[in-house]
Chains A and B, each alone.
Chain A
């Protein structure tokens, strides 16, 4: 190779490293294979990821962990628990009561999908599932509000309890909206931010309304 004759390695650049040849049955991607680990490890890893995202929602900082490693376990758990807690509402006839389980489920998931489509159509750069993940996780404050409301309703359902519930639901609604806006607003073009934030506001408003109007039997 005549062209390599004048290639020289300078003496003050250390060249070091390891040259090993993989031997035996050790496959190159064994580090990523999780098939052989104990089931407990698998479950704990997912639970820890979900828990970390919950913490990110409760203290929304500009971190990309929520966006990067999206998962839909958290939203599913939150949606199911919220829908279950909204059961048992009072109704004289079936038509007048609160939302059924399927209605809550559909509203949350269909609403999140529509908002995601809306933000993508407006030119957002976030991916579909990342946006679903953020919107689903930001239901956490409202689920906490539902829990608090049910506890307060156990104590009584007069005006005082209504005022407490109102304050809690309004505070959690604001928290949810701010948290999801903090994660989602950056991926939108700057002159369309309000167009993207408004449907999120409407979405959490509807969920808050369902929580606030829950009356037990």
Chain B
């Protein structure tokens, strides 16, 4: 079965190359697609055999889609056009989220999970959840940090929600736009084998932000070390997904440009995490003596902040 899978993957590679070079062509494959029993891919997936089914199932459905030709043919002013971007089931969304959190070395997120069916549901709602998670967690964390102080009065800090929303949606949409433009420009100079559409890049970025949701919740813990360990951990996971996705798209280019592109991707991702941590979460205060405050009658009072 492994050799069959390898053969299918090789075929899929060729088909993808041809399609990338000329997106409007329909590829016709002479040999028959592997007969997979109906109940193994599609709506009712048995949980134990998910690994095999994912590879085989995705390839098979991709082959049928390649054979069928162009998928999204409705004009852009109709509602049906936008419905094609939401053509995902619950298990597909969950699979994509899983794929963004556990990067499998050597497997490309776009290839494995998204291939020709990018959706906008994941990116949009993951960003929305992240916005509110960061705002709520930041508020909670500040509340717990300042809890004991007599002068502290709790404020909901609702303005920060709009700031969080602007930042995260700008990151999730403008950075893919810039990256897509850059890759298109490089494509015109250097013939790259793999090129991604704008929606696929938005998809990857959207799903890669998912790891920051549990990270933001765990940032409530008011320990600096814990927070920075979380930043590093989540950055490694989602950064590696991004790197492994975009490496095939730039590896045929000039080596320095390829490395610079990947470096910028990781840097922006890190900046987002660190920026959110710095802005929304107050620093947990260290245990140091406050300055000596002279009281009215001359005796000094030393206050210790906790």
**A interacts with B:** yes
**Contact A195:B156 (CB < 8 A) given known A118-B121, A121-B82, A121-B83:** no
Closest to A107 in B: B161
Per-position binary interface string of chain B over residues 64-104, scored 1 when its CB falls under 8 Å from any chain A CB and 0 otherwise? 00000000000000010011011011110100000000000
Chain B's nearest CB lies how many Å from the CB of A200? 11
- Assess the A205–B90 pair: CB atoms within 8 A: no
Closest to B128 in A: A202
- Assess the A195–B159 pair: CB atoms within 8 A: no
Interface of A, secondary structure class, is: helix
Closest to B163 in A: A95
Chain B's nearest CB lies how many Å from the CB of A149? 13
- Assess the A91–B155 pair: CB atoms within 8 A: yes
Per-position binary interface string of chain B over residues 158-183, scored 1 when its CB falls under 8 Å from any chain A CB and 0 otherwise? 11000000000000000000000000
A-B pairs under 8 A by CB, number? 70
Closest to B44 in A: A191
**Contact A123:B83 (CB < 8 A) given known A98-B156, A192-B90, A213-B139:** yes
- Assess the A213–B90 pair: CB atoms within 8 A: no
* Residue count of chain A within 8 Å CB distance of chain B: 31
- Assess the B153–A90 pair: CB atoms within 8 A: yes
- Assess the B90–A193 pair: CB atoms within 8 A: yes
**Contact A209:B125 (CB < 8 A) given known A121-B83, A121-B85:** no
| A99 on the B face (CB < 8 A) | yes
In this complex, the member of B83, B90, B158 whose beta carbon has the largest number of chain A beta carbons within 10 angstroms is B158
Once bound together, how far apart are the Cα atoms of A98 and B139, in whole Å? 12
- Assess the A95–B159 pair: CB atoms within 8 A: yes
Once bound together, how far apart are the Cα atoms of A103 and B125, in whole Å? 20
Closest to A212 in B: B156
Chain B's nearest CB lies how many Å from the CB of A115? 10
| B43 on the A face (CB < 8 A) | yes
Once bound together, how far apart are the Cα atoms of A195 and B121, in whole Å? 9
Once bound together, how far apart are the Cα atoms of A120 and B88, in whole Å? 13
| B11 on the A face (CB < 8 A) | no
Closest to A205 in B: B132
Besides the contacts A193-B90, A202-B132, A214-B156, what 13 more A-B pairs have beta carbons closer than 8 Å? A95-B157, A95-B159, A99-B158, A121-B82, A121-B85, A121-B121, A123-B86, A192-B88, A195-B93, A202-B125, A202-B128, A202-B129, A215-B156
- A/B interface sample: 27 pairs, CB < 8 A: A89-B156, A90-B153, A92-B153, A92-B155, A95-B157, A95-B159, A96-B155, A97-B155, A97-B156, A99-B156, A100-B158, A103-B158, A118-B86, A121-B85, A121-B121, A122-B86, A122-B121, A191-B43, A192-B89, A195-B93, A202-B125, A202-B129, A210-B156, A213-B154, A214-B156, A215-B154, A215-B156
